Amino acid sequence: SCKSKCEICNKQVSALGANKTACIDHCHKTNKIRGILCNNCNAGLGSFNDNIVLIKNAIKYLGKEDTQYKYYKWKRERNVKINKICPITGEKNNLVCDHNHKTGFIRGNIYNYINMGMGSFQDSIEILEKAIKYLEKKRE
């Protein structure tokens, strides 16, 4: 069949046609195929560089309280800096403003690829935990 489910989020994916949503996931070290993922979960793993420790750090980060800064106001002022280093990776460069989409408040400044990865996983702790299980199951 041309239809399958993402092995992380369980979303229905299609391997054919203009609406192709399935990705063949592979390990970049071994080049071995690991499974079928949706576009978002595949991009999310790539943003985290398949690093389980970083995904666990992101889960802890998502459990923290928001700041008192509203995102829309920060975007205008641009001078609010919450973190000097990314609390997930320890990176000092390429930090971007991360905000809680539900509350509209800023959570902090994090490394840009991690911000994209968390967005790919819909800022969902549940999906991030499933990504960890997927990577652990697919290890050599």
Please state the three-class secondary structure of 71-97 as a single string: HHHHHHHCCCCCCCCCCCCCCCCCEEE
Residue 45, CB-side half-sphere exposure with 13 Å CA sphere: 28
Q: What is the pLDDT of residue 139?
A: 81
Q: What is the mean pLDDT of each run of 10 residues along the chain (140 residues)?
A: 84 81 89 93 96 98 92 64 91 92 91 96 96 90
What DSSP element (H or E) covers 4? strand 3-5
Alpha-carbon torsion angle 128, 5, 120, 127, nearest 10: -20
Q: What is the pLDDT of residue 42?
A: 96
Beta bridge partners of 5: 12
Rounded Cα–Cα distance for residues 32 and 74 (Å): 44
Q: What is the pLDDT of residue 55?
A: 98
> What Å distances lie between residue 82 and 11, 14, 20, 54, 66, CA to CA?
35, 41, 39, 20, 11
Rounded Cα–Cα distance for residues 24 and 124 (Å): 22
C-alpha angle with apex 96: 95 to 98, nearest 5 degrees?
A: 125
